[in-house]
């Protein structure tokens, strides 16, 4: 008998259900007898013992469904070792529920914060296998995360649809794409959607360079400009501030985000109409694209194989077009950033895309 627990933690994304299905079907199709317990709403379910025994039918018909049928929540790693409001030791509680159910392994699906806690539990002696979930594609140790391609598709569609109204009215449009710290989603959606300017957290921008690019397009007869702006994009001036100074500045700003501040700066500089579009959580919603369905299924299947082989303490990742296992300790606490000197940035610049630098 193999008993596993399964949970999805952090922000949701497409293909979580597909990944869990991949794990379950691989285990069910083995010669082993299997019990799968689903913890509800992420680590909260593991902490407070909220779970249900799942069966084969729970994993039927979920390949194409977005979200997570187990529910999710954010349980910040920075406070995971602090007692809750009632004095409960959260780490001890998670371990207690693990042993109470006599689990052989925890399967944890999540992003950066989730992997920090997963690594902590692994170091505490629990058997853990993880799967890389995030629309940001910023997890260390894997070339791709599931949810990313679906989010790229949605953000690209938004930029595509903005093109016609921008062209009709001769306006500058800023499409604010998700990504506080890392710009993979904005970079890929911006290039796929034909954005003229792409602003990333990793490449601080100069407003004057952005204005210059808009003027150049206008002088060539282009009546509109599309800017794909990551929500974490930052100006060169603000990049010089400490994190505390920048957060203080943002808190006092009259603008809801950097995109609206940039819109005002562009209007003040050249007097063109500027509109901001924020697709927001639509980028995390809806059904997974075919790529993510296949990719998440492959990752889930490999996670199931690791469990059958009793190989624990790994994240199932993707390197050089192959599914690989990556030690959790190598993943936790690291971000995979866009390299400003990478080939994709160089190629984008050759295409005439400005990054405002």
> Looking at residue 203, which CATH number applies to its domain?
3.40.50.460
Q: Is the pLDDT of residue 49 over 90?
A: yes
Q: How far is CA 150 from the centre of its chain?
A: 11
Model pLDDT for residues 141-182, shown as the tens digit of each residue:
999 999 999 999 999 999 999 999 888 888 899 999 999 999
Residue span of the structural domain in which 89 resides: 2-147+288-331
Mean pLDDT of the chain: 95
Give the pLDDT score at 354: 97
In this structure, are 52 and 100 located in the same domain?
A: yes
Average pLDDT over residues 202-209: 96
Confidence tier at 336 by pLDDT (50, 70, 90): very high
Q: 196 an active-site residue?
A: no
Same domain, 279 and 294: no
Q: Distance between CA 201 and CA 210 in Å, rounded? A: 15
Angle at 255 between CA 184 and CA 240, to 5 degrees: 60
> Same domain for 106 and 223?
no
| Phi and psi, residue 195, nearest 5° | -65, 145
pTM: 0.94
19 lies in the same domain as 97? yes
Answer yes or no: is 322 within a domain.
yes
Answer whether residue 273 shows pLDDT above 90: no
pLDDT at 355: 98
169 lies in the same domain as 251: yes
Asked if 114 and 161 sit in the same domain, the reply is no
Residue 357 domain flag? no
- Residue 6 and residue 140 share a domain: yes
How many structural domains comprise the chain?
2
The string of DSSP letters for 208-219 reads HHHHHHHHHHHH
46 in the same domain as 120: yes
Please report the pLDDT score of residue 190 as a whole number. Answer: 98
Inside any domain, residue 338: no
Q: What is the pLDDT of residue 64?
A: 97
Q: Are residues 85 and 112 in the same domain?
A: yes
d(CA 131, CA 105): 13
Domain membership flag for residue 347: no
Output the CA–CA distances (angstroms, integers) from residue 235 to 210, 211, 240, 304, 341, in the order listed: 11, 13, 9, 45, 18
Asked if residue 307 is part of any domain, the answer here is yes
Instruction: Kindly state the percentage of the chain with pLDDT values over 70.
Output: 100
Once rounded to an integer, what is the mean pLDDT over residues 99-114?
97
pLDDT band at 251 (very low <50, low <70, confident <90, very high): confident
Model confidence band, residue 193 (pLDDT cutoffs 50, 70, 90): very high
Indicate if 73 and 50 belong to the same structural domain: yes
Phi then psi for 86, rounded to 5 degrees? -105, 10
3-state secondary structure at position 75: coil
- The answer to whether residue 256 is domain-embedded is yes
CA distance 135 to 147: 5
Mean pLDDT of the 258-268 span: 95
Residue in 12, 84, 104, 136 annotated catalytic? 136
Domain co-membership, 156 together with 193:
yes
Residue-level pLDDT at 210: 97
What mean pLDDT is predicted for residues 351-355? 97
pLDDT at 243: 87
Report, as an integer, the average pLDDT of 318-345: 96
Tell whether the model's pLDDT for residue 304 goes beyond 90. yes
């Amino acid at each position: 008998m193999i008993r596993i627990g399964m949970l999805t933690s952090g922000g949701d994304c497409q293909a979580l259900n597909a990944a869990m299905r991949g794990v379950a079907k691989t285990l069910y199709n083995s010669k082993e007898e299997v019990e799968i317990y689903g913890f509800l709403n992420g680590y909260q379910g593991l902490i407070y013992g909220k779970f249900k025994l799942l069966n084969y039918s729970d994993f039927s018909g979920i390949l194409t469904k977005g979200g997570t049928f187990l529910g999710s929540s954010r349980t910040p790693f920075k406070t995971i070792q602090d007692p809750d409001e009632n004095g409960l030791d959260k780490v001890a509680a998670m371990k207690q529920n693990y042993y109470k159910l006599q689990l052989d392994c925890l399967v944890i699906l999540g992003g950066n914060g989730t992997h920090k806690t997963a690594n902590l539990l692994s170091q505490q002696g629990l058997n853990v296998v993880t799967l890389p979930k995030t629309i940001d594609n910023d997890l260390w140790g894997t070339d791709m995360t599931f949810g990313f391609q679906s989010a790229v598709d949605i953000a690209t569609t938004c930029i595509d649809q903005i093109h016609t109204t921008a062209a009709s009215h001769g306006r500058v449009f800023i499409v604010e794409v998700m990504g506080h710290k890392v710009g993979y989603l904005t970079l890929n959606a911006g290039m796929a959607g034909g954005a003229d300017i792409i602003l990333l957290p990793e490449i601080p921008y100069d407003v004057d360079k952005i204005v210059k690019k808009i003027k150049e397009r206008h002088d060539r007869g282009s009546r509109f400009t599309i800017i794909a702006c990551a929500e974490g994009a930052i100006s060169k001036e603000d990049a010089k501030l400490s994190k505390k100074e920048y957060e203080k500045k943002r808190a006092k700003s009259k603008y809801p985000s950097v995109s609206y501040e940039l819109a005002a700066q562009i209007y003040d500089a050249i007097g063109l109409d500027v509109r901001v579009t924020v697709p927001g959580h639509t980028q995390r919603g809806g059904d997974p694209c075919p790529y993510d369905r296949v990719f998440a299924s492959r990752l889930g299947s490999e996670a199931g194989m690791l469990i059958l082989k009793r190989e624990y303490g790994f994240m199932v990742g993707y390197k050089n077009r192959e599914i690989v296992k990556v030690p959790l300790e190598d993943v936790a606490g690291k971000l995979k950033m866009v390299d400003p000197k990478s080939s994709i940035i160089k190629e984008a610049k050759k295409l005439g895309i400005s990054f405002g630098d």
